[in-house]
Amino acid sequence: MENLHLIVGLGNPGARYKSTRHNVGFAVVERLAERWRADWSAEKKFQAVLARAEPAGRKVVLCEPQTFMNASGEAVQAVVAFYDVAIARVLVVVDDADLPVGQLRLRPGGSSGGHHGLESIEVHLGTREYARLRVGIGRTEGAREITGHVLGRFDSTESALMDKVLSVAANQAEAWLVAGIQKAMSQFNGIVGDAVNEREDQ
């Protein structure tokens, strides 16, 4: 569909995984859906739940794959193919254990960094040149095995910060949509804090 944008949040479906570190991608697109008053609907043909909106006159589909993280590309490829979405209009929001809690990093492409959800999307789309917004979730210092960490929940201090991070990440996704990726990167990449990412445009 001409000019359609797709914003995908990655996570695992089901109550068991809700609010875990690995599901911050879901949390960001849910924040966008709430802002845009967009309703979610389960669509089995895509193995995903979708919400449709037209913020700032842009047609947008929000997507939460229901395939579990490691097979996220199946759902993303199905939506991209059905709507004929240009890769330049795809944004994937994902957790990143290599970034500290509170850091945002938007890039126009690159490697998966070992993230299985991004690996799956790269395989199914046949490219790594799609935008991805990484949301830092930190990691246990010195730990190599992080499965328990990413499937755990934020502590009370981190949760307060993450509520702000989710809002700023949603702001960054909106900037990507309206102003383009370079502006969104320069304005929002970095650590979310009182003096960061809220400055007026220069």
Mean of the pLDDT values across residues 136-155?
57
Q: According to the model, what pLDDT value does residue 156 have?
A: 62
Residues in the chain: 202
3-state DSSP assignment of residue 179: helix
Residue 121 has pLDDT above 60, yes or no: yes
Q: Tell me the residue type at 153.
A: R
Q: Catalytic residue, from 22, 116, 124, 149: name it.
A: 22
Q: According to the model, what pLDDT value does residue 161 have?
A: 81
Closest CA to 141 of 97, 102, 180: 97
Closest CA to 4 of 68, 50, 64: 50
Q: What is the mean pLDDT of the chain?
A: 88
Q: Is 22 annotated in the active site?
A: yes
- Mode of pairing for the β-strands spanning 103-107 and 131-136: antiparallel
In the sheet with 103-107, reading across from the earlier edge strand, the strands are 40-43, 48-53, 60-65, 5-9, 90-96, 131-136, 103-107, 190-191
Alpha helices in the chain (DSSP H): 24-36, 72-83, 116-125, 147-150, 156-179, 181-188
- CA-derived radius of gyration, the chain: 16
**pTM tops 0.75, yes or no:** yes
Instruction: Please give the full DSSP string across 50-72, using - where no structure is assigned.
Output: EEEE-GGG--EEEEEE-S-GGGH
Q: How confident is the model at residue 18 (pLDDT cuts 50, 70, 90)?
A: confident
Q: What is the pLDDT of residues 67-120, one digit of tens each?
A: 999 999 999 999 999 999 999 999 999 999 889 888 999 999 999 888 899 999
Q: Is 156 exposed, middle or buried (0-12, 13-18, 19+ CB in 10 A)?
A: exposed
- Token pair, residue 168, equals 């700023």
